[in-house]
Amino acid sequence: MNAERNGMKPQHITLIGAGLVGSLLAVYLARRGYDVTIIEKRPDMRTAAISAGRSINLALANRGIRPLEELGLMQQVRDIIIPMKGRMLHDEQGQTQLVPYGQQPHEVIYSVSRGELNKLLMTAAEATGKVKIVFETGIEQIDFNQQRILLKHEQTGAQQPHHFELLIGADGGGSVVRKAIDALHGKASIEEKLFHSYKELNIAAGANGSFRIEKEALHIWPRGDFMMIGLPNNDGSFTMTLFAPDQGAVSFAALHDHASFTRFFEQNFADALKLMPDAAETYFRNPTGFLGTVHCPNWYVQNKALLIGDAAHAIVPFHGQGMNCGFEDCFDLNRLLDEHHDNWQPVFAAYAAARKPNGEAIALMAQENYVEMRATVRDPKFQLKKTVGFELEKRWPQLFSPRYSMVMFQHIPYAEALRRGRINDDILAALCDPIEQAEQVDYILAEQLIRQKLG
Ligand code: FAD
């Protein structure tokens, strides 16, 4: 059925990509009464032994949890997540220090298996009875005028045209839908390369599935220009990720054989290396992952198509927000459909206006967080500012909130978190630059600054 003349109320939606965001969105759309066909390039990971691609586990936080709760899925998700209460910093001597993420018991983030979460969401989508996932089929071409796409079976190569009423691209960072929208508008997205990449390693579980390092923490080995992190898995293992420059004296290019790898790890990650006896083999077996940010100028084609998740705003992973932001896209889109009684016509522009500045803001904060995680976190001044920031939040909870908390534990728009975070930085610099210890803070000045700048 075609869109109505005085509005747009499709009955059927074609969604590209059954990744995390596409699967979650399908649940929302089905609950609203739409029939949804998802076209997914990969085989069904619930039956085929394939990796979910990219990182094995992810940090789930408030912005991702809210839509899962709204859809009644969080109960099931709770069975597969592990709370992480703070950053466990590992120095070169193997000393550790836990830096809490927040001050309240609920201010934690959660480690979740990408594959398990994706499977759960696909099953929830199909369980609505209104979602059909077509696996091993990729989208090849898009004709927005004719509202037609060309699909290709990944195994047989067989091609098949498909008519769409409304097309939603949830096809990730390399989105074909985004490229077609770019071409239509004659303006290409900017794909900003980080020139740092990542590689996954593994700490195996101990006896009887025990955790060999602190279970409820996100472990970080900050080393200045590079770092390694570790997130817990339910089976007692940890997924470790090395992030480093592509080129240079310390880089992926420099780790070219077992000897250089072992030397580098003994020098920088000796405590972790003891727990990863086969790290060198794993290192040379696993692919090196690319990192970058996508700045997409046009998120939709009026009444025909829109982008969601990484397809619209792929970001670097250092704030643990890519998926969370994509889930928030779904939440906001659903709200807009409520507001406009499922007349999609005004929703395209409203959705892009609401989400695009926030996508740009979290992209920037994610880049900044890389520097914080790998370098700044080691600076005593950073630790001082963190402590003072928590104290300001305790004394003036209505006015002052650390930026990390705004991003991870609240729902304040990312763009506003970025704006307020800049003001926080100024206040903390004014208070902490002249002092060495938190006890020396001038709280009269603190109150003045907070009321003046954040009141
Ligand atoms: P994707 O997960 O990429 O899914 C896209 C889907 O589309 C895939 O299933 C793909 O097969 C399919 N597809 C692609 N092209 C086509 C096509 N042509 N035709 C049909 N189907 C197609 N985010 C967090 O929130 N927290 C974290 O801690 C975190 N850590 C990360 C760590 C790393 C190392 C990386 C790389 C990313 C991390 N992210 C994290 C980001 C997160 O992985 C992404 O934001 C999230 O996966 C986006 O989901 P998506 O559904 O939009 O895209």
| DSSP codes joined into one string, 270-285 | HHHHHT-TTHHHHHHH
Q: Is the pLDDT of residue 426 over 60?
A: yes
Of all atoms in ligand 1, which is nearest to the CA of residue 241?
A: 34
Q: Please give the C-alpha separations between residue 131 and each of 3, 117, 126, in angstroms, as whole numbers.
A: 20, 17, 5
**pTM of the predicted model as reported, rounded to 2 decimal places:** 0.97
Q: Which two tokens stand for residue 346?
A: 């005004």
Instruction: Please give the distance, rounded to the nearest whole angstrom, from the Cα atom of residue 21 to the centre of ligand 1.
Output: 8
Per-residue confidence (pLDDT) for residue 48, from 0 to 100: 83
Instruction: Please give the distance, rounded to the nearest whole angstrom, from the Cα atom of residue 229 to the centre of ligand 1.
Output: 19
Provide CB contacts within 8 A for 429, sequence distance 6+. Answer: none
Q: In 186-321, where does DSSP find H-type helix?
A: 258-268, 270-274, 279-285, 310-313
Element (H, E) at 199: strand 196-203
Q: State the average pLDDT over residues 79-106.
A: 95
Q: Which CATH number fits domain 3-90+113-192+292-369: 3.30.470.10, 3.50.50.60, 3.20.20.70, 3.40.50.2300?
A: 3.50.50.60
Query: Which residues' Cβ are closer than 6 Å to ligand 1?
Result: 16-22, 39-42, 54-55, 58-59, 138-139, 170-172, 176, 198, 241, 289, 309-311, 317, 320-324, 326
Instruction: Please give the distance, rounded to the nearest whole angstrom, from the Cα atom of residue 189 to the centre of ligand 1.
Output: 18
d(CA 52, CA 219): 23
Instruction: Please give the distance, rounded to the nearest whole angstrom, from the Cα atom of residue 226 to the centre of ligand 1.
Output: 23
pLDDT tens sequence across 203-257: 999 999 999 999 999 999 999 999 999 999 999 999 999 999 999 999 999 999 9
Chain centroid, CA 322 distance in Å: 2
Residues in the chain: 455
- Ligand 1 test: best mutation among 23, 41, 197, most atoms within 8 Å of CB? 41
Give the SS3 label for residue 12: strand
Task: Give nearest CA residue, ligand 1 atom 15.
Answer: 171
Element (H, E) at 57: strand 57-60
- Ligand 1 test: best mutation among 42, 58, 179, most atoms within 8 Å of CB? 58
Instruction: Please give the distance, rounded to the nearest whole angstrom, from the Cα atom of residue 20 to the centre of ligand 1.
Output: 7
Q: What percent of the chain has pLDDT over 90?
A: 96
SS percent in the chain: helix, strand, coil, step 5: 40, 20, 35
Of all atoms in ligand 1, which is nearest to the CA of residue 198?
A: 34
Instruction: Please give the distance, rounded to the nearest whole angstrom, from the Cα atom of residue 309 to the centre of ligand 1.
Output: 8
- Ligand 1 test: best mutation among 290, 310, 370, most atoms within 8 Å of CB? 310
d(CA 219, CA 99): 10
Q: Which two tokens stand for residue 49?
A: 């032994």
pLDDT-based confidence at residue 405 (cuts at 50, 70, 90): very high
Of all atoms in ligand 1, which is nearest to the CA of residue 314?
A: 45
Of all atoms in ligand 1, which is nearest to the CA of residue 22?
A: 51
Per-residue confidence (pLDDT) for residue 293, from 0 to 100: 98
Element (H, E) at 408: helix 403-409
Instruction: Please give the distance, rounded to the nearest whole angstrom, from the Cα atom of residue 350 to the centre of ligand 1.
Output: 24
* Residue boundaries of the structural domains of the chain: 3-90+113-192+292-369, 196-289, 379-454
Quick one: CA torsion of 428, 432, 438, 441, rounded to 10 degrees?
-90
Per-residue confidence (pLDDT) for residue 7, from 0 to 100: 79
Instruction: Please give the distance, rounded to the nearest whole angstrom, from the Cα atom of residue 173 to the centre of ligand 1.
Output: 7
Q: Is the pLDDT of residue 2 over 60?
A: no
Q: State the average pLDDT over residues 56-67.
A: 97
d(CA 253, CA 94): 26
Of all atoms in ligand 1, which is nearest to the CA of residue 311?
A: 52
Q: Is the pLDDT of residue 6 over 80?
A: no
Q: State the average pLDDT over residues 305-326.
A: 98
pLDDT tens sequence across 127-148: 999 999 999 999 999 999 999 9
Burial 46-58 (b: 16+ CB within 10 A, else e): eeeeeebebbbbb
Torsions phi, psi for 219 (to 5 deg): -85, 135
Q: State the average pLDDT over residues 114-130.
A: 97
Instruction: Please give the distance, rounded to the nearest whole angstrom, from the Cα atom of residue 4 to the centre of ligand 1.
Output: 33
CB atoms within 10 A of CB 319: 27
Q: Which of 283, 81, 39 is nearest to 176 (CA)?
A: 39
pLDDT-based confidence at residue 54 (cuts at 50, 70, 90): low
Instruction: Please give the distance, rounded to the nearest whole angstrom, from the Cα atom of residue 218 to the centre of ligand 1.
Output: 21
Instruction: Please give the distance, rounded to the nearest whole angstrom, from the Cα atom of residue 19 to the centre of ligand 1.
Output: 6
Contacts 24+ apart (CB under 8 A), 64-68: 64/323, 64/324, 64/327, 64/328, 65/110, 66/327, 66/328, 66/331, 66/411, 67/24, 67/28, 67/327, 67/328, 67/330, 67/331, 67/334, 68/24, 68/327
Task: Give nearest CA residue, ligand 1 atom 45.
Answer: 322
Q: State the average pLDDT over residues 283-295.
A: 96
Task: Give nearest CA residue, ligand 1 atom 3.
Answer: 172
Amino acid at site 231: L
Q: Is the pLDDT of residue 198 over 70?
A: yes
Per-residue confidence (pLDDT) for residue 51, from 0 to 100: 61
